[in-house]
Amino acid sequence: MYKIKKEQISALLETVGKAMDLYLPVNNNGKTNFGFWTEDAKVDLETLKTVKSPKDAFFPQSEVLYSCYKDAKKIEITPQELVNRDFVIFGVRACDVRGFQVLDRVFLADPVDTYYAARREHGIVVSLACGEPEESCFCKVFDIDAAAPEGDVVMWAVEDCYCMEAKTEKGENFLELVKEHLEPASDEDSQKTAAEQEKIRQIIEKFPYSHLSLEGWDGNATKEKFDDPRWKELSDACLACGTCTFSCPTCQCYDIRDFNTGHGVQRYRCWDSCMYSDFTLMAHGNNRTTQMQRFRQRFMHKLVYYPANNDGMYSCVGCGRCVEKCPQGLNIVKVIKRMGGSK
Amino acid sequence: MQEELIRRAKELLGDGTVVRVMGWRKGDLSFNPEPALFETEESLAEFVYDGFCGANLSKYMIKLSKLEGKTLVFLKPCDTYSFNQLVKEHRVDREKAYIIGVGCDGSLDVDAMKEKGAKGIQEITEDGDTVTVRAIYGDKTFDREDVILERCRACKGGAHMVYDELASNADEEKPARDGRFSLVEKIEVMDPKERFAFWQNELSRCIRCNACRNVCPACSCIKCVFDNDRYDTAQKANADTFEEQMFHIIRAFHVAGRCTDCGECSRVCPEHIPLHLLNRKFIKDINTFYGDYQAGADTDSRAPLTNFTTEDVEPSIVQERG
Amino acid sequence: MSIEAKNENKEFKPLIVAFCCNWCSYAGADLAGSSRLAYPADVKIIRVPCSCRVNPLFILRAFQKGADGVILCGCHPGDCHYSTGNYYARRRMTLLFSMLDYLGVENGRTRVEWVSAAEGVKFSQTMNEFVEKIYSLGENVRLEDLRCKKN
């Protein structure tokens, strides 16, 4: 294990940022989101949850797939280059790291999504344990340990230092790159880290959602949950906006569209939301015509369909962003609570 | 207060005046009640009315006024402007609604409390002008004034524009507050470059979740122009270009003269983009160029953009005023 | 390759979109032409049935797709073929231009002019003036969508 003083972290980030693309939480006018490091970016490692999850780093909100340029009778097609240089995504929380694994099962399954795979191959994940988890967190419910995130390198904030440990070969290479800033951690530091982890786990026990029961929610509950009459009252207030979807670390639906540039076409893919009325719109119309059906789709996907196809793994990681962000106070916890339990 | 509203709702359901109640349901944390529909007297046990019931229920009445029978709806003073505006546009049926006007001391903003240091919130209690937060990382006490929504700082006053009856906490005399345009003026006096940078910075955070549009009582189109893929106007990409700005300019324009300044767009924005400043700019311009106008204050006047006089100012005024 | 070569050392040539009402300004443009009055070829005219047919989205889309200036021409107030269309257009454009100014977009790039069918001279004068103004403002960089850029 290595350590670095908190005030020296900006020097470390500068070294990384100059060597490769560095994607980390940046504050813009009071709101923190993952963004690229620049010399004057306001790096913010204190905020627990960025508004959007860091899934952008591997699955950007919109990305060009290829472009066409038309000049008289000639058409030039330029495919988009795949990411071919290493980049670092820094300060990811435990829930969001698990979110990447949820995405992996979708995009890295056959047929492999080459755009995603290239990013995943070159991305180095530096995770950060949650020193001060908050009331909307419920990662514990999905067996995620906020005190011991996964990732290539794991960091803990301990007193005035960050302790770092490489977990993979990629992680070791990363620490090699920044070793001038690091000093080896002593046994005392390891003990302090362990104490910090214990403290985090105790705090999490106090949260209202930490003991949420997932009973009744699994891949076998399709029929029973689908037909439940309570979906209507749960979805009455839904605005059909995409706030939950776009802030979620595991939502993976996208749309592919063409942008008419006036001199050709740019084919792009962008996040889509199952809450939108034009989601999976087909020539014959739409197969989900009411908001109740769309609302049900979102939660059934996370808690029933996805586990059914992925060995029981839920596609919710308990980050609590939807709990904080839903404009009308709806969220997955309310759904789990009101419709849970076995019958 | 809450008990009074529940009792009244039960009476109205019981005597058949209304067949359903649109109100707020208790959340599972102390700050996340949700708008909800109650159809039985028993279900009203979960009804709640507190400082976190900021959601404007008027827009739900579009859907509800298409149903059989009357709906009881609780409206705060500023919500009644939206309701009136929807009546004016024939989007809701006044006859299908039974309105109880409820009083409001300013809606609370949990994000403001978090910004002011409340972390790991376990419980929030209101007591008159103080709000107490019990939290894991330290309890906090706030003046209500410091943790209300932005829109409540420019409150339009306590008067309800439309109602069937008033709850006992309604204060029709509560004065309106000034300063509605002070932020707009601050931007107006900036250098164009600064203004551009200001908006570029704000709007670049937009994640295109459409929450502002979907919550807006004035945005009641069945198919939004930005969802329509037939005319090359559909926008889904979160492209870091002019597109974001275009969406917000056009949205503000489409509601110009109809926006009652209810402030829902800014309340729901996950990125806290001050969208109300676009709407307020239009309101301010309308007041300056065409005389004071408050959308939703009545149901029969003509809106400024569906009206004209032969002496209107020319568009060149924008350049001439410097 | 060929595209890049073409764009090298290109001097600024503005693209100006003029929305002209069918009944007055479009006829005014015709008159300017038949009277052999010159106006720059940078101006591309789009004929609309009435100035009030122009939706603010038209103007923004023109900018997005690369216009450097947009001008809207209609009948003089009081002379609208449909009686009142241009009065509504006047209010809309006033508010739109004011909003663009508020957003910090150079406000000289948009204009409204009332040109009747008999005012060929005014049409050509207006266009000449406007094109000159756009030349002085230079290329539109704030409103153009980067994806629409040709190079």
A274 to chain B: nearest residue by CA?
B209
Say yes or no to pLDDT of C3 above 50: no
B96 has a pLDDT exceeding 90: yes
Interface of B with A (CB under 8 A): 27-29, 32-37, 52, 55, 60, 115, 119-122, 135-137, 201-202, 204-205, 207-211, 213-215, 227, 229, 232, 234, 236-239, 267-268, 270-272
Q: What does pTM read for this prediction?
A: 0.92
**CA B128, CA B165: separation in Å to the nearest integer?**
24
Instruction: Give the model's pLDDT for residue B241.
Output: 67
Are B162 and B259 a contacting pair, CB within 8 Å?
A: no
Q: Is the pLDDT of residue A47 over 80?
A: yes
pLDDT at C2 over 50: no
Report the alpha-carbon distance of residue B148 to residue B139 in Å, rounded.
18
pLDDT for A342: 53
Nearest Cα of chain A lies from the Cα of B299 at a distance, in angstroms, of 26
Q: How many CB atoms lie within 10 A of CB A305?
A: 16
Which residue from A269, A273, A241 is spatially nearest to A255, judged by alpha carbons? A269
* Contact call for A257 and B236, based on CB within 8 A: yes
Chains touching B (3+ CB pairs < 8 Å): A, C
**Residue B101: beta bridge partners?**
B75, B166
Query: What is the C-alpha separation between C91 and A235, in angstroms, rounded?
Result: 41
Most distant CA pair in chain C: distance in Å? 54
- pLDDT interval class at B178 (50, 70, 90): confident
Q: Which of B272-294 are b and which e, b meaning 16 or more Cβ less than 10 Å from the residue's Cβ?
A: bbbbbbbbbbbbbbbeeebeeeb
- Per-residue b/e over C57-82, b at no fewer than 16 CB within 10 Å? bebbbbbbbbbbbbbbbbbebeebee
Q: Decide if pLDDT at C6 tops 50.
A: no
Q: Cβ separation of A328 and B205 shorter than 8 Å?
A: no
Tell which wins on pLDDT, B123 or C11: B123
Contact B192 C101 (CB under 8 A): yes
Q: Test C147 with A261 for CB contact under 8 angstroms.
A: yes
> Is the CB of residue C148 less than 8 Å from the CB of residue B242?
no
Chain A positions in Cβ-Cβ contact with residue B203 (cut-off 8 Å) = none
Average pLDDT over every residue of C2-11: 51
Q: How many CB atoms lie within 10 A of CB A219?
A: 17
pLDDT, average across residues C101-120 = 91
Binned at pLDDT 50, 70 and 90, residue C142 comes out as: confident
Nearest-angstrom CA–CA distance, B72 and A297? 30
Q: Measure in Å the smallest separation between the Cα of C87 and chain A Cα atoms.
A: 32
Q: Where are the domains of chain B?
A: 1-108+155-177, 110-147, 178-322
Please state the φ and ψ torsions of residue B48, each to the nearest 5 degrees. Answer: -140, 145
**Rounded average pLDDT over B165-176:** 91
Q: Residue C57: its chain B contacts at CB < 8 A?
A: 225, 233, 246, 250
* Cα-to-chain-centroid distance, residue B121: 25
3-state secondary structure of B148: strand
For residue C2, list chain A residues with Cβ-Cβ distance below 8 A.
71
- Closest residue to B268, CB basis, from A51, A327, A331: A327
Per the document, the length of chain B is 322
Beta-strand pair A123-128/B165-166 = unpaired
The average pLDDT across B131-142 equals: 93
Q: Judged by CB atoms within 8 Å, which residues 228-267 of B form the interface with C?
A: 233, 239, 241-243, 245-246, 249-250, 252-253, 256
Task: Enumerate the residues of chain B whose CB falls inside 8 A of the CB of residue A211.
Answer: none
Average pLDDT over residues A289-308: 94
Q: Greater confidence, B234 or A63? A: A63
Chain C contacts of B246, Cβ < 8 Å? 57, 60-61, 64
Per-residue model confidence (pLDDT) at position B322: 61
The whole-number average pLDDT for the span B201-221 is 92
Q: Quick one: pLDDT at residue C66?
A: 87
Residues of B whose CB is below 8 A from C145: 239, 241-243
Give pLDDT, residue C5: 43
Q: How confident is the model at residue B240 (pLDDT cuts 50, 70, 90)?
A: low
b/e burial code for range A263-300 (CB count within 10 A of at least 16 → b): ebbbebbbbbbbbbbebeeeeeeeebeebbebbbbbbb
What mean pLDDT comes out for the span A52-81?
92
Instruction: Quote the radius of gyration of chain C (alpha carbons, Å).
Output: 16
Yes or no: say if A209 and A144 are a contact pair by the CB < 8 Å rule.
no
Over range B113-120, report the average pLDDT.
Answer: 92
Cα A11 to Cα A43, A156, A195, B15, C70: the distances in Å are 12, 18, 27, 72, 49
Question: Residue B215 is nearest to which of A239, A277, A331, comparing CB atoms?
Answer: A239
**For chain A, which residues make up each domain, given as ranges?**
2-53+82-205, 222-339
Nearest chain A CA: its distance from B21 CA (Å): 12
Contact B152, B106 (CB under 8 A): yes
Burial letters A46-57, b for 16+ CB under 10 A, else e: eebbbbbbbbbb
Inter-chain residue contact B120 with A239, CB threshold 8 Å: no
Q: Where does the pLDDT of residue B222 fall: very low under 50, low under 70, confident under 90, or very high at 90 and above?
A: confident
- What DSSP designation does A202 have? H
Q: How far apart are CA B238 and CA B205, in angstroms?
A: 10
> In 3D, which of C33, C34, C30 has the Cα closest to residue C21?
C30
For chain A, what percent of residues have pLDDT higher than 70? Answer: 99
Q: What is the pLDDT of residues A90-102, one digit of tens each?
A: 999 999 999 999 9
Q: What is the pLDDT of residues B3-15, one digit of tens each?
A: 999 999 999 999 9
Nearest to A132 among B115, B137, B208 (CB): B137
A220-247 average pLDDT score: 92
| pLDDT range class, residue C10, cuts 50, 70, 90 | low
Residues 6+ apart with CB under 8 A from C77: B310, C86, C87, C90, C114
pLDDT over 80 (residue B283): yes
The tokens describing A298, both together, are 């979102």
Taking the CB of residue B228, how many other CB atoms lie within 10 A of it? 13
The answer to whether the beta carbons of residues A22 and A43 sit under 8 Å apart is: no
Count CB pairs under 8 A between chains A and C: 14
Per-residue pLDDT tens digits for A235-286:
999 999 999 999 999 999 999 988 888 888 989 999 999 999 888 888 888 8
How many other β-carbons are positioned within 10 Å of the β-carbon of residue A327? Answer: 26
| % of chain C surpassing 70 pLDDT | 92
Q: Give yes or no for residue C8 having a pLDDT over 80.
A: no
CB-closest option in A259, A263, A266 to C150 = A263
Chain C residues within 8 A of B201 when measuring between CB atoms: none
Structure tokens at B238: 């979160």
Whole-angstrom distance between the N-terminal and C-terminal Cα of chain B?
Answer: 52
Contacts of C150 in chain A (CB under 8 A): 263
Closest partner residue to A259 (CB to CB) among C2, C147, C150 is C147
Alpha-carbon gap: A60 to the closest alpha carbon of chain C (Å): 17
User: Is the minimum CB–CB distance between C77 and chain B shorter than 8 Å?
Assistant: yes
Selected for mutation to probe chain B from C99, C115, C133 (highest B CB count within 10 Å) is C99
Going from the N-terminus, what domains does chain C have, and what CATH number goes with each? 14-143 (3.40.50)
Q: Spell out the long-range contacts of B8-15 with Cβ–Cβ below 8 A and sequence spacing 24 or more.
A: B8/B100, B8/B165, B8/B167, B9/B38, B9/B44, B9/B47, B9/B72, B10/B41, B10/B44, B12/B72, B12/B98, B13/B40, B13/B41, B13/B44, B13/B72, B14/B41
Q: What is the pLDDT of residue A56?
A: 92
Identify residues of C whose CB sits under 8 angstroms from chain A CBs: 2-3, 65-66, 145, 147-148, 150
A41: which 2 tokens?
């970016």
Neighbours of B80 (CB within 10 A): 24
Output the pLDDT for position A195.
Answer: 94
Report helix, strand or coil for A35: strand
User: What's the pLDDT tens digit per position in B45-71?
Assistant: 999 999 999 999 999 999 999 999 999
* Residue contact A276–B227, C-beta within 8 A: yes
CA atoms within 13 A on the CB side of A85: 5
Q: Are A243 and A51 in contact (CB under 8 A)?
A: no
**Residue A72 CA: distances (Å) to CA of A76, B277, C3:** 11, 45, 12
Alpha carbons within 13 angstroms on the beta-carbon side of residue A157 total 18
Q: What is the mean pLDDT of residues C15-27?
A: 95
Question: How large is the greatest C-alpha to C-alpha distance in chain B, in angstroms?
Answer: 64
- Of C64, C87, C101, which is closest to B242 when you measure between CB atoms? C64
Cis upstream peptide for A111 (omega within 30°): yes
Amino acid at B90: H
